Structure 1
């Protein structure tokens, strides 16, 4: 899948694990397209590597949403539904941050699945 909003920076740890960080800022009318990309990436990760596990698992993630005033907004990914839940109508610019971390196998598979990320 081509990603237009999520452009990831990557970093590697000495342990071989990696992280991919993306930050996107959009107006309300662009938020559905950005959320669709987040959902695609997280659905892929769940299908390919199972549930996220921060304690030595194959992968984990963090998802954050911030309003124009810098206030954190509630955002969550529901793995059972394969979708993102937002706090309600968004009427101003927001910034979304998505961080993925994982094993070398996760990193390789991520780069294969999203080569333009």
Structure 2
């Protein structure tokens, strides 16, 4: 899948786990496009590797999404993987910056790079 907003940096750790980090900063009119890409990536991970869980707890992958508006005012953002639904409070009024971190096993990392090539 080709991503328009998210460009991931890959980190491979000696333990065999890996992480992918992406950040996007957009005006409110572009926010739905970024959220759709995050939803697509997380839905793929859920479909292919099951529900997110910390790697030390038998999970293959986990994620964190953070959001802020101009002047680094944090937004509370949550994502329900099973329902593929975001909630964000307060509603953003200016430029929004979203950061997505996905961590996973070596197998997860290989599959991720294949599914989302640069």
Q: TM-score, normalised by structure 1?
A: 0.93
1:78 aligns to what? 80
Give matches, 1:21-100, under 5 Å: 21-56=21-56, 57-87=59-89, 89-100=91-102
Change (3 A) 1:48 1:59: same
The Cα shift of 1:11 comes to: 0.6
Matched positions, count: 116
- 75-84 or 92-101, which deviates more: 75-84
How many Å separate the matches in 1 of 2:68 and 2:92? Answer: 11
Which residue pairs with 2:106 in the alignment? 104
1:10 corresponds in structure 2 to 10
Unaligned 5+ runs, structure 1 = none
Alpha-carbon RMSD = 1.1
Greater CA drift, 31-40 or 84-93 = 84-93
Aligned partner of residue 75 in structure 1, secondary structure: strand
The 2-side partners of 1:61 and 1:80 are apart by 14
